[in-house]
Structure formats: C-alpha cells, structure tokens
A and B are shown apart, each in its own frame.
Chain A
Amino acid sequence: QVQLVESGGGVVQPGRSLRLSCAASGFTFGGYGVHWVRQAPGKGLEWVALISYDGSNKYYADSVKGRFTISRDNLKNTLYLQMNSLRAEDTAVYFCARGFQLERLDYWGQGTLVTVSS
C-alpha cells in the first residue's frame, strides 16, 4: 500500500534552517510528482511546493519562494524540503502528498511538526 512518512520536524529559532524528509513506499516513486502542504495550528491547508516526477520542474507558494527548496532522490524514494530563513509564521505541520497528474493529492503522509520560536 502507498505510504508516505515525514520526518525532520522540530523546534528551530527564527532565521535558522531545517530539512524535512518524506520517505515513500508502495508505489513507483519516480513516476509521480509530490507536494508539500502545511497546516498552521488550528488553521486550514496551505500548499507549499511541488516537484515533478523527475525533479525537472519545481513550483513554490509565494510565501516560501526564495527560502524553501524542494528536491527528491528517486533512488532513495525520498522527497525533501530545505527550509531556510525560517519565520514564526512557518510554524505548521508539514505534510507530503502524492500528486496525481498535477491534479489531486491522492495520498498523504501523517505530517511532521515544525515550530519556529526563540
């Protein structure tokens, strides 16, 4: 079965960096685009970034553009999110989600919590 497992969250000071990982299994990872979506405490879902199946195309929300970098290693079946210059407003649960043909997000991980605080 399709599984996505995020890791790497934690407490970080404003201005510092953090890298999230998402380990995929149960499907051909290299055949799908993958998204990062975040959810601030008590709030709704906010799309963060997408990387295409081969890593050749990357898209970002304006709120993270220039600070976050999405990448993937298809040999390791793993997605990454490098987060630099973190701000308090980046505090959220970060989910990775498989993208079906750049349309719906059909499978989601359980999320990893990032807290940006001094």
Chain B
Amino acid sequence: EIVMTQSPATLSVSPGDRATLSCRASQSVSTSLAWYQQKPGQAPRLLIYGTSTRATGIPARFSGSGSGTEFTLTISSLQSEDFAVYYCQQYYDWPPWTFGQGTKVEIK
C-alpha cells in the first residue's frame, strides 16, 4: 500500500499571501496524484488531477506540481473561501486508493 504523507498539518496564512502544501508518497506514483479541498460540513471537492491539471471550475490561483514521490499544491493568493482542509490522493497503484492525512489552511 502506498502511504501518502502531507505537511504541514496546519498552515497559518494571511489573506492574499501564498500557501504551499506538500505531499509525499512512500513510493513513486508518477504523476497519478489528485488534490481535494474540504470545508467544514461539506464533501471534498476535486481541485487538481494528474498532478497539475485543474478540475472544471477551479480558479487559476490553484496550481499543482511534482512527480514521483514529491508533490506541491500552491495557492497563489489566498482568498477567504480557500481556508479549508486539503487532501492529496494517489491513484497510481490500487487498491487501495490512498489519501494523505490532510493539511488545514487557517487564517493567520
């Protein structure tokens, strides 16, 4: 099973600043990596797939990069609606489809 590890657990950022979230895989997942956003009481929403492709309707301030075992989600200028928990997920080797433990982006 591929283990996904996200860091940091919590990221405190001021509105308008850049946020950089990391995700590490226990073995290579090539570029088979997705990111999801989850707000309190809501379902997760797909943000990024294939490491760097934005899902339908996702603003350009969200970008993804990386390959192999190291991945990054960058939010270029945080808006109030971006404060949430973010999860990475690999789909290179399944089952299981595995998620990271999440990074909470909170207001500084």
A residues whose Cβ falls under 8 Å from a Cβ of B: 35, 37, 44-47, 50, 59-62, 95, 97, 100, 102-111
Contacts and interface: CB of A to CB of B under 8 A. Distances in A.
B47 to A, nearest CB: 10
B62 interface: no
Interface string B9-45: 0000000000000000000000010101010001111
Interface of B: 32, 34, 36, 38, 42-46, 49, 55, 87, 89, 91, 94-102
Contacts of B91: 102-104
B interface, by DSSP: helix, strand, loop or mixed?
loop
A108 B32 CA distance: 19
B100 A60 contact: no
A47 B96 CA distance: 7
A50 B97 contact: yes
B32 A103 contact: yes
A105 B43 CA distance: 12
A106 B32 contact: no
Contacts of A110: 42-43
Contacts of B43: 95, 108-111
Contacts of A102: 91, 94
B44 A47 contact: no
Nearest to B35: A104
30 contacts: A44-B87, A44-B100, A44-B102, A45-B36, A45-B38, A45-B89, A47-B95, A47-B97, A47-B98, A50-B95, A59-B94, A59-B95, A60-B95, A61-B95, A62-B96, A97-B44, A103-B32, A103-B34, A104-B46, A104-B89, A104-B91, A105-B34, A105-B44, A105-B89, A106-B49, A108-B43, A108-B45, A109-B43, A110-B42, A110-B43
